[in-house]
A and B are shown apart, each in its own frame.
Chain A
Amino acid sequence: MARRIKGLSDRAIAWIFVAPTIFLLLAINIFPLIWTINLSFTNFRANRLNREVDYVGLRNYERILTDTDIWLNMQATAHFLFWTIFFQVLIGFTLAYLINKKFKGNDLWTTIIVLPMMLSPAVVGNFWKFLYQPQIGLFNYIVAFFTGKDPSSFEMLGSVDLAPWSIVIVDTWMWTPFVMLICLAGLRSIPDYIYEAAEIDRASKLRQFFTITIPMVLPFLMLAVLFRGIENFKMFDLVVQLTGGGPGSTTELTSINLKREAFEKWRTGYASAYAIILFVTVFGLASIYVKALNKVKER
Chain B
Amino acid sequence: MKYSKLTAVSALSMTIAGLGASAQADDLTLCWAAWDPANALVELSKEFEAESGHSMSFEFIPWPNFADRMLNELNSGGKLCDLLIGDSQWIGGGAENGHYVKLNDFFDAEGISMGDFADATVYAYSTWPKGTPNYYALPAMGDANGWFYRKDWFAREDIREAFKAETGRELGEPKTQKEMLEIAQFFQGREIDGQTVYGAAIFTERGSEGITMGVTSALYPWGFKYENTPGSYDMEGAVNSAEAVEALEFYKEFYKTATPPGYTNSYMGESLDAFKSGQVAMAMNWFAFFPGLYADPNTGGDKIDFFVNPPQNQAGSTLGGQGISVVAYSDKQDAALEYIKWFANPEVQQKWWDLGGYSAHKAVLESPEFVDSAPFAGDFLEAMGAVQDFWQEPAYAELLLAMQKRIHDYVVADQGTAQEALDKLIEDWTETFEDEGKL
A residues neighboring B (CB under 8 Å): 43, 46-48, 50, 69, 133-135, 152-153, 155, 157-158, 160, 240, 243-250, 260, 263-267
Contact = CB atoms under 8 A, between A and B. Distances in A.
Given A47-B71, A48-B97, A246-B412, A265 B401 contact: yes
B413 interface: yes
A43 B431 CA distance: 13
Given A160-B414, A264-B397, A248 B408 contact: yes
User: What are the 5 tightest A-B residue pairs by CB atom distance, in nearest-first order?
Assistant: A248-B413, A158-B264, A248-B409, A134-B262, A246-B206
Nearest to A242: B265
Given A247-B264, A264-B397, A265-B397, 6 more contacts: A157-B264, A245-B206, A246-B408, A247-B265, A248-B409, A264-B68
B128 to A, nearest CB: 15
Given A47-B75, A244-B207, A265-B397, A158 B412 contact: yes
A160 B264 CA distance: 11
A248 B265 contact: no
B276 to A, nearest CB: 15
B408 A134 contact: no
Contacts of A69: 405
Contact of B409 (A158, A240, A249): A249
A287 B406 CA distance: 37
Contacts of A244: 205-207, 265
A245 B72 CA distance: 22
Contacts of A264: 68, 397, 401
Interface in B399-438: 401, 405, 408-410, 412-415, 435
Contacts of A157: 262, 264-265
Given A134-B262, A135-B260, A158-B265, A247 B68 contact: no
Interface in B259-281: 260-265
Given A47-B71, A158-B264, A248 B412 contact: yes
Contacts of B397: 264-266
A248 B97 CA distance: 32
A2 B178 CA distance: 96
Interface string B237-276: 0000000000000000000000011111100000000000
Contacts of B206: 244-248
A43 B435 contact: yes
B398 interface: yes
Nearest to A244: B207
B385 interface: no
Contact of A249 (B3, B75, B413): B413
Contacts of A267: 398, 435
B357 interface: no
B327 to A, nearest CB: 15
B98 interface: yes
Contact of B261 (A46, A135, A240, A249): A135
Interface in B60-111: 68, 71-72, 75, 93, 97-98
B394 interface: yes
Contacts of B205: 244
Contacts of B98: 50
A243 B409 contact: no
**Which of B72, B408, B414 counts the most A-chain CB atoms under 10 A from its CB?**
B408
B424 to A, nearest CB: 9
Contacts of B263: 158
9 contacts: A47-B71, A47-B93, A244-B265, A246-B206, A247-B206, A247-B412, A248-B413, A249-B413, A264-B401
A247 B413 contact: yes
Contact of B265 (A46, A47, A243): A243
A24 B263 CA distance: 48
Given A48-B97, A135-B262, A260-B401, A246 B413 contact: yes
A160 B413 contact: yes
Contact of A266 (B260, B261, B398): B398
B67 to A, nearest CB: 8
Contacts of A263: 68, 72
Nearest to A46: B75
Contacts of B260: 135
Contacts of B75: 46-47, 266
A238 B75 CA distance: 28
A195 B436 CA distance: 70
B97 A155 contact: no
Interface string B1-21: 001000000000000000000
